[in-house]
Amino acid sequence: MLDAINPAEVVATIFYVILGLVLLGLSWKAIEFFTPFSLRKEIEDDQNMAIAVLIGSLFISVSILIGAVILS
């Protein structure tokens, strides 16, 4: 039988989702700040697939780190 949904767990889940998204946004801003060119222009306008794959892998690794910190 299914357990009842605990409202505290729902609130905590929503909080951690928002926290994770904010941290991912901050990591995007940090990466964009330290690069000497516009990442958005390179990915969208110039179709630079190498930078897109690099940024995607960075987001995956940062997501794994954030998830591990939240779970600990």
Closest CA to 60 of 52, 49, 71, 48: 52
Per the confidence metrics, is the pTM higher than 0.75?
Answer: no
CA distance 60 to 9: 25
pLDDT tens figures, 23-56: 888 988 998 899 898 888 888 899 999 989 988 8
Q: Give, in order, the Cα–Cα distances in Å from 27 to each of 11, 21, 55, 58.
A: 24, 10, 10, 9
Closest CA to 23 of 54, 69, 72, 71: 69
H-only helix segments in the chain = 7-34, 39-40, 49-71
pLDDT of residue 20: 81
